[in-house]
Amino acid sequence: MDPVSNAPHLANSPVAATSGGPPLSRYLAFGVLTVAGLAADLLTKAWLFSWPGGLGHIYWLIPDYVGLQTSLNEGALFGIGQGAVSLFAALSLAAALAIPVWLFAFRAANDWWLTITLGTVMGGVLGNLYDRLGLSGLRWGPADPRAGEPVYAVRDWILLQLGDAWRWPNFNIADSLLVVGAAALFLRAWLEPASPASPSRGSDALTEEPSPDLPN
């Protein structure tokens, strides 16, 4: 077969599509989702923390169930690991570096699902990393032993509870992006069909070897 005439077929094959780097659309999708998630998180934090009432004041949307309450979290997602701000900042920074490397250097971005999911996760990672690095501009108040020092803690403001019986730790949009992204990755891993086992070298040889002619 003429290799030139066969070129269009090879260009459209799955192997050719995945052998090169991710297309520009993946870079754009990842960037837009990351920037949109980060902007939504930082803008809502800045807006809620500028409201009168001070830290801890509750503005009820549905009394005793859903409200807006500013709080500071020196731990990880949903208050886990309080006090380990430096550790979680280092982990967030590592994730912020690893995600784009895996997507684009290792070509995971050829998969649309991973591109969208990790763009969502990246927005959440950067939103909380911004706070853990003390970039929010907040300083501890006079009631805290660290009065006047920069706050290295995540700003949370979403309150969910069931009266006095149950209360979920306050969270923010970055936390929500991380949870949604992690759930999407888990769903993908669960739904992804197992790759069929490739036939062995010996079986290929047996099936491809022509049968000998029988004597008349």
Q: 164: closest CA among 15, 63, 32?
A: 63
C-alpha–C-alpha distance, residues 45 and 51, integer Å: 10
Could you list the active site residues? Answer: 156, 175
Contact 71, 207 (CB under 8 A): no
C-alpha–C-alpha distance, residues 169 and 37, integer Å: 21
CA torsion angle 52 130 39 148 (round to 10)? 20
Structure-token pair, residue 109? 């971005």
The number of C-alpha atoms within 13 Å of 183 and in the hemisphere containing its C-beta is 6
Q: 125: closest CA among 60, 66, 159, 175?
A: 175
Structure-token pair, residue 13? 């094959």
C-alpha–C-alpha distance, residues 126 and 135, integer Å: 12
